Amino acid sequence: EAGVTQFPSHSVIEKGQTVTLRCDPISGHDNLYWYRRVMGKEIKFLLHFVKESKQDESGMPNNRFLAERTGGTYSTLKVQPAELEDSGVYFCASSQDRTENYWETQYFGPGTRLLVL
């Protein structure tokens, strides 16, 4: 079974440009998460989808970031316009949806390394 995939693996853009990152979760996983790690800092939560709905977007830095998950399958994260501080590694993770009250493993993709110059 394929794991979480992300595209592109690397992106170098200039300040003010737009970049769109894509995440394909593991098939059948209803939960999709976006995280970001800025160099040398912790991995920080951005938002959480359950199917196509945004369950929690409290970690989104500002309105330059727009995440979508049309149809509840793959997700995109668009940064427009990009700023220097947006540089970092953007991770996507997915997990199954269960009713039992125990933690469901989040499987991470390889990340997209974004550099804004």
Partner 1 sequence: GQQLNQSPQSMFIQEGEDVSMNCTSSSIFNTWLWYKQDPGEGPVLLIALYKAGELTSNGRLTAQFGITRKDSFLNISASIPSDVGIYFCAGRFGGSQGNLIFGKGTKLSVKP
Residue 55 · residue 45 · CB < 8 Å: no
Q: Which is nearer to partner 1, 18 or 55 (CB)?
A: 55
Q: Is 103 in the site for partner 1 (CB under 8 A)?
A: yes
- Residue 72: which of 24, 115, 9 has the closest Cα? 24
Distance (Å, rounded) from C-alpha 14 to C-alpha 113? 14
Span interacting with partner 1, options 12-20, 27-35, 60-68, 72-80, rule CB under 8 A: 27-35
Distance (Å, rounded) from C-alpha 115 to C-alpha 117? 6
Give the type of residue at 63.
N
Span interacting with partner 1, options 12-20, 38-46, 69-77, 79-87, rule CB under 8 A: 38-46
Q: Is 95 in the site for partner 1 (CB under 8 A)?
A: yes
Q: Which is nearer to partner 1, 27 or 42 (CB)?
A: 42
- Local structure of residue 10 (DSSP, 8 states): E
- In whole angstroms, the minimum distance from the beta carbon of 96 to partner 1 comes to 9
Span interacting with partner 1, options 11-19, 53-61, 71-79, 80-88, rule CB under 8 A: 53-61
Q: Which is nearer to partner 1, 13 or 43 (CB)?
A: 43
Distance (Å, rounded) from C-alpha 83 to C-alpha 79? 9
